[in-house]
Amino acid sequence: MTGYLIKRLLLMVPTFIGITLIGFLIMRLAPGDPAELRAAGGLGAAAGAGISVEKRGSVDEAIAQWRAQYGLDKPLHVQYLVWLKNIGTLNFGESFKDNQSVWSKIAERLPVTIKLNFWSILVVYLVAIPLGVYSATHPNSFGDQVTTLAAFILFAVPLVWAATMAIVFICGGDFYYLFPPGGLESIDFSDNWPIWRKLEDRAWHIFLPVVLLSYDGFAGLSRYMRASMLEVLAQDYVQVARAKGLPEKRVILKHVLRNSLIPQVTILASILPGLIGGSVIIETIFSIPGLGQLGFESVLARDYPTVLALFTVSALLTLTGILISDLLLAAVDPRIVFGRRQQ
């Protein structure tokens, strides 16, 4: 096992370097220039009225100065090597936007995104497994058909649309006011509030984003759960268990459920990157100050150091996710042994 772990960890290094190289190239070969963007007065000019007249003019020298300051005047491969060398020491550089260290910007926002994703994964599994179990134990019943239809509809609904509709209809516009239309705390939130009131305020704010972030996941996962459960139900040993007179509840929970959980563990590895992608949309629409919002703003502003750092962090998370789910698989499935061939 230890040998396997070391091998896997070592394998992650070239994979990781490959990912960062591709990420670096995608970011840097994409057209657009952060210096020009700043000279034109930022992104407001794109959406709003236009480029500020006074901020233009003989700014070429200014742009050259700015580029030199951030090392953007060097050849691309030199920039990559410098960057790679720096992340070796966990130095992600400084943001173009405010000269703050990118690491501190990420550290500031990471807890929010982790919180959001933790609750989402929890909701995904808490909803998907009972739903899947229900569907599989009552196959083709009315309830199964309703959950199947609902799952497919949810699976097909684009997140951007669902989030916008939620804001327009249930967040206090002209219709219903059930949830706040964004943010993590109320305007008058104060540290002097009693703890239960703080918790309540935060729960109220995070509820809708968590539901939106997880519906796609639980809709999909409940289908997997149903399928794998039905497969297990058809196995001979289930017949045997029933034949020897075990109560149905025990058959389902002890024998069937445990065995059909194995594939769900593997899926965890693929849900994680999906949730990170989903947080970009949800955090931007709900103005939640997490990594997704930071990433979105940084891509638009071509804030290379920040974008690359975020890319690196999510690549690492995904690689770790895959590793963890492989290890978990061994834990739940005694048939899988890593490291040496079974005799």
Scan residues 241-270 and list those touching another protein (CB under 8 A).
Answer: none
Query: Minimum distance between the CB of residue 3 and another protein, rounded to whole angstroms?
Result: 38
- Of 54-62, 82-90, 265-273, 310-318, the segment contacting another protein by CB under 8 A is 54-62
Q: Which residue has the tokens 């009315």?
A: 142
Please, which of residues 283-322 interact with another protein by CB under 8 A?
284-290, 293-294, 296-297, 300, 302
Please, which of residues 58-97 interact with another protein by CB under 8 A?
58-63, 65-66, 69, 94, 97
d(CA 328, CA 343): 22
Q: Is 42 in the site for another protein (CB under 8 A)?
A: yes
Please, which of residues 167-186 interact with another protein by CB under 8 A?
167-168, 171-174, 177-186
Please, which of residues 106-165 interact with another protein by CB under 8 A?
108-109, 126-127, 129-130, 134, 164
Bridge partners (DSSP) listed for residue 177: 171
Whether residue 115 contacts residue 206, with contact meaning beta carbons closer than 8 Å, is answered with yes
Q: Is 50 in the site for another protein (CB under 8 A)?
A: yes
- Which CB atom, from 9 or from 126, has the smaller least distance to another protein? 126
- To the nearest 10 degrees (0 to 180), the angle between helices 142-156 and 102-137 is 160
Q: Which residue has the tokens 């670096």?
A: 24
| 223: Cα within 13 Å, side-chain hemisphere | 14
- C-alpha of 277 from chain center: 5
Task: Identify the CA nearest to 169 among candidates 179, 159, 184.
Answer: 179
Judged by CB under 8 A, which of 19, 20, 24, 37 binds another protein? 37
Q: Decide: helix, strand or coil at residue 173.
A: coil
- Which CB atom, from 96 or from 311, has the smaller least distance to another protein? 96
Bridge partners (DSSP) listed for residue 101: 94
Please, which of residues 90-109 interact with another protein by CB under 8 A?
94, 97-100, 105, 108-109
